[in-house]
């Protein structure tokens, strides 16, 4: 119980508390004439001038009920509790003063934990003052508490609903960051690996073949331009002050761009078979990224590899990707711990209801196999 009280007391205020808006001024402007009419025409109103002054004087509390909820509750309920005592009896309150119920709602909707505890104590104290002064009988007391706690429950419900919504939004943002992290890794790793390989090849052959350095620089420039273009697209999507690029992402049609006939390093051959025209964009993008990451890993880790084969086949229910290289099996490659690349590939396939496996071949080489459902959803 003590832990519960402490957690309520330490509850912070919700973020992004709205300040005064035009609707608040409009509400005060609408209530003021009703208060004046009631104060003038209501025949059974005690202390008419005091009641009218108190009604109009407390209406501005509605303007600061979100930003200063505890202070407004103290003014509203403290004032209505002390005035009857100062007058020696009677309850100079109008029906229009029902607007004070918006104050406890705002307190539990926008106040901190300690503000709600202190504010609730002020409200209960005001009700007890009414009871002691004879302004409330048992029926009115029960009805008043019922209305009060209904308003409090409504404010707390909207508070926790907004918090749940914020958690949902944060979860969506986290998933988007994970997706962007996978895309960023795939893009940067692929292009940087290509640039590193070309640079090494240019350095190795620069003495015997001076033109090799020029060719390597051309490839490095092209790969760097592609990497920068894709990174700008992702960064633009992350920045709030710039519109996202609505151009379509990678797809099966872009697989041919991964093919290469390199003078140094393994060449990449791409084969596509089957009807792939009506694939969902998510499946097409996943196939491309899986193939791209597999090629990057092969260029990094396949020793003495001369060829990388990319084969995509499709039937009525699934799309199958196989990426195989002919590099040496090597003990380092066989025992390597799965890095972010392999983990991202497995996660990407799993999100679409598919599988992704990677491992050495019986003779030599390494094969990555991914199978995705054609619909792009978990069955």
Angle (CA) 137 82 23, round 5°: 95
pLDDT reported for residue 242: 45
Q: How far is CA 5 from CA 9, 164, 301, in A?
A: 6, 21, 58
CA-CA-CA-CA torsion sign (35, 39, 44, 47):
positive
What DSSP state is assigned to residue 273?
E
Q: Do 66 and 18 form a contact (C-beta atoms < 8 A)?
A: yes
Other Cβ atoms closer than 10 A to 10: 10
Q: How far is CA 193 from CA 220, 337, 340, in A?
A: 10, 19, 15
Residue 108: both structure tokens together: 């539990």
Angle (CA) 177 182 186, round 5°: 145
CA-CA-CA-CA torsion sign (184, 187, 189, 195):
negative
Positions of the chain with pLDDT lower than 50, given as ranges: 240-248, 332, 334-337, 378-379
pLDDT reported for residue 70: 94
Other Cβ atoms closer than 10 A to 188: 14
Helix (H, G, I), strand (E, B) or coil at 379: coil
Q: Do 84 and 61 form a contact (C-beta atoms < 8 A)?
A: no
Whole-number Å distance between alpha carbons of 357 and 292: 15
Whole-number Å distance between alpha carbons of 92 and 199: 88
Residue 50: both structure tokens together: 């005091």
pLDDT reported for residue 244: 41
Residue 379: both structure tokens together: 């069955």
CA dihedral 162, 163, 169, 173 (to 10 degrees): 150
**pTM metric for this prediction:** 0.53
pLDDT reported for residue 209: 73
Q: Do 13 and 112 form a contact (C-beta atoms < 8 A)?
A: yes
pLDDT reported for residue 324: 93
Q: Do 242 and 198 form a contact (C-beta atoms < 8 A)?
A: no
pLDDT reported for residue 377: 58
pLDDT reported for residue 66: 92
pLDDT reported for residue 250: 74
Residue whose entry in the numeric block shows the structure tokens 């996943």:
286
pLDDT reported for residue 234: 60
Sequence-ordered strand ranges (E) for 303-365: 307-314, 318-325, 355-360
């Amino acid at each position: 119980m003590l832990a519960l009280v402490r957690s309520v007391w330490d509850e912070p205020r919700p973020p992004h508390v709205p300040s005064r808006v035009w609707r608040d001024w409009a509400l005060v402007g609408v209530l003021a004439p009703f208060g004046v009419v009631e104060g003038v025409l209501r025949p059974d109103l005690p202390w008419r001038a005091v009641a009218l002054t108190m009604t109009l004087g407390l209406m501005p509390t509605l303007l600061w009920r979100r930003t200063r909820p505890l202070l407004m509750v103290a003014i509203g309920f403290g004032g209505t509790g002390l005035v009857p005592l100062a007058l020696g009896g009677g309850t100079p309150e109008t029906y229009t003063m029902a607007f004070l119920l918006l104050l406890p709602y705002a307190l539990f909707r926008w106040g901190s934990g300690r503000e709600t505890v202190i504010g609730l104590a002020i409200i209960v104290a005001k009700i007890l003052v009414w009871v002691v002064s004879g302004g409330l009988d048992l029926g009115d007391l029960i009805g008043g508490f019922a209305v009060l706690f209904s308003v409090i429950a409504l404010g707390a419900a909207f508070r926790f609903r907004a918090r749940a919504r914020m958690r949902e939004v944060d979860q969506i943002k986290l998933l988007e960051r994970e997706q962007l992290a996978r895309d960023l890794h795939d893009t940067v790793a692929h292009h940087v690996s290509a640039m590193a390989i070309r640079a090494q090849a240019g350095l190795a052959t620069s003495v015997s073949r001076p033109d090799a350095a020029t060719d390597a620089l051309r490839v490095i420039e092209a790969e760097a331009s592609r990497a920068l273009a894709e990174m700008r697209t992702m960064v633009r999507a992350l920045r709030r002050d710039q519109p996202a690029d609505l151009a379509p992402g990678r797809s099966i049609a872009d697989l041919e761009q991964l093919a290469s006939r390199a003078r140094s390093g393994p060449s990449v051959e791409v084969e596509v078979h089957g009807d792939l025209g009506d694939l969902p964009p998510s499946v097409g993008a996943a196939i491309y990224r899986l193939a791209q990451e597999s090629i990057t890993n092969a260029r990094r880790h396949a020793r003495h590899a001369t060829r990388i084969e990319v084969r995509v086949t499709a039937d009525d229910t699934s799309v199958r990707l196989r990426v195989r290289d002919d590099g040496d099996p090597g003990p380092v490659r066989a025992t390597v711990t799965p890095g972010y690349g392999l983990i991202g590939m497995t996660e990407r396939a799993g999100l679409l209801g598919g599988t992704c496996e990677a491992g050495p071949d019986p003779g030599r080489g390494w094969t990555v196999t991914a199978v995705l459902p054609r619909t792009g959803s978990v069955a």
